[in-house]
Amino acid sequence: MSRIAFVTLGCKLNYAETSTYERGLVAAGWEVVPWSDVSAEFFLVTTCSVTEHSDKKSRNIIRKLHRLCPDAGIVVTGCSAELRRSDIERLPGVLRVFGATEKSAVVPWLLSLAPDDSPGYFRAWSSGERTRSFLKVQDGCDYKCHYCTVPYARGESRNAPIAEVVEDARAIAAQGIKEIVITGVNTGDFGKSTGETFFELLKALDKVEGIERYRISSIEPNLLTEEIIDWIATGSKVLPHFHIPLQSGCDEILKAMGRRYLTADFARKIEYIRKALEKPGQQKVFFGIDVIVGFPGETDELFQQTYDFLKNVIKPAFIHIFPYSKRPGTPAAEMKNQVQDSVKTGRVERLEALCDELHTAFVAANKGCRSKVLFEQKTRDGMAEGWSENYIKVTRPWKEGIVNSIEEIEL
């Protein structure tokens, strides 16, 4: 019986894929050990390349694992493995690197120690939590925004057929898990390789018995259509919680980024969702918004447009803030007027303060509303912790059997 340890960096999609590698190896009799266990014969490292820091962190963890256990073989996959393959292959201890189209070969190769490079779509879902699972429904991206290396790391947009995704959802339900987070690289682009649509997928998943709640992970504003929103409003299992990338609240910067909408389009979509899903006296919709600060050419005045757009127009519940990271091979890396790191840091701090302000206001606006909470775990201070339908953290006194139960409460 071989012993293997897993190290995963980056997004929830990476964690879903690692979890799938683990299930395959455990089913074949392998033993999973902590990465700090010197008895590990193999390490499987799933890397991230979203920023330059992520690339460095990926390489550093590989070096650290080799120092910890020099005789173990290190297998590497993930985005940095695709974009920095030759660099990673030269690192000591690395046995094999699997690129974006080779992920389905990871487990067979480890089991047989013989290469199998058949490309394709790698189905994955996480199983490490008792109450929710991250279900991968799509991979790759065709958008190629000017700052992003993900399309090069993950390849073209592709997916498994709806029938297979539903099969995965049923397997998740069979484990007693009640909530699924639908995730992908460009989630709403589902259907490119099968001639299906994301809307058709949502309707099929909604019928899976045992799964009571769905959250849609990051989805482009142009792909969250009015048709989908209207259907959600009819009483589907999809929760009022959306993670939508804005990236900038300034039209000049959005155009420079190569985004597919302007601020007026974004504002209309948010307003449409609110009108469709929010009723007087009922819980508000949670919007988590991605924003990049310090994109080349972003002056103080242009940044202020983003700040004002978020504060006065969108008013999200949370802002995911990313300082722009120069990625070799992207158009943005060659642009003039790169912004100093110290300026980016200041802008991040301003948005973090705004995020705190907006989140406090969001929680206050939901006070007195009814919501169903899925309790997930016991906290260190002995309380039960869970999340409302619109992603407000709720704590209750602990009681036996509360984990994985859903209770309707007043926020």
387, two tokens: 């999340």
Helices 198-205 and 226-233, packing angle to 10 deg: 20
Burial grade of 266 (CB within 10 A; 0-12, 13-18, 19 or more): buried
Contact 317, 359 (CB under 8 A): yes
Of 322, 247, 223, 239, the closest CA to residue 11 belongs to 322
For residue 55, give every residue at least 6 positions away whose Cβ sits within 8 Å of its Cβ, in sequence order, or none: 47, 48, 49, 80, 83, 84
Residues 6+ apart with CB under 8 A from 292: 147, 247, 248, 257, 322, 323, 324
Q: Checking DSSP bridges between strand 213-216 and strand 179-184, what pairing results, if any?
A: parallel
DSSP string over 53-98: HHHHHHHHHHHHHHHH-TTSEEEEEEHHHHHTHHHHHTSTTEEEE-
pLDDT at 329: 86
Q: Which residues pair with 321 in a beta bridge?
A: 291
pLDDT at residue number 128: 67
**Which residue, 244, 256, 366, is CA-closest to 310?**
244
Q: What per-residue confidence (pLDDT) applies to 118?
A: 44
Separation of alpha carbons 208 and 366, rounded Å:
30
Kindly give the confidence (pLDDT) of every residue in the chain, 411 residues in length, as a single tens digit, with 9 standing for 90 and above.
689 999 999 998 999 999 999 999 998 889 999 988 878 899 999 999 988 889 999 999 999 999 999 989 999 999 999 999 999 999 999 999 999 889 989 998 998 764 444 446 788 888 766 689 999 999 999 999 999 988 888 889 999 999 999 999 999 999 999 999 999 999 999 999 999 999 999 999 999 999 999 999 999 999 999 999 999 999 999 999 999 999 999 999 999 999 999 999 999 999 999 999 999 999 999 999 999 999 999 999 999 999 999 999 999 999 999 999 998 889 999 999 999 999 999 999 999 999 999 999 999 999 999 999 999 988 888 899 999 999 999 999 999 989 999 999 999
- What pLDDT does residue 113 have? 65
- Whole-number Å distance between alpha carbons of 335 and 350: 25
Distance of CA 88 to the CA centre of its chain: 24
> Would you state the pLDDT for residue 219?
97
Distance, CA of 21 to CA of 80 (rounded, Å)? 18
pLDDT at position 135 is 94
CA 323 vs. chain centroid, Å, equals 18
d(CA 397, CA 79): 42
> Which amino acid, 199?
F
Sequence-ordered list of residues with C-beta below 8 angstroms from that of 128, at least 6 positions apart, any chain:
15, 19
Q: How far is CA 30 from the centre of its chain?
A: 28
Q: Which residues, in sequence order, are bridge partners of residue 184?
A: 138
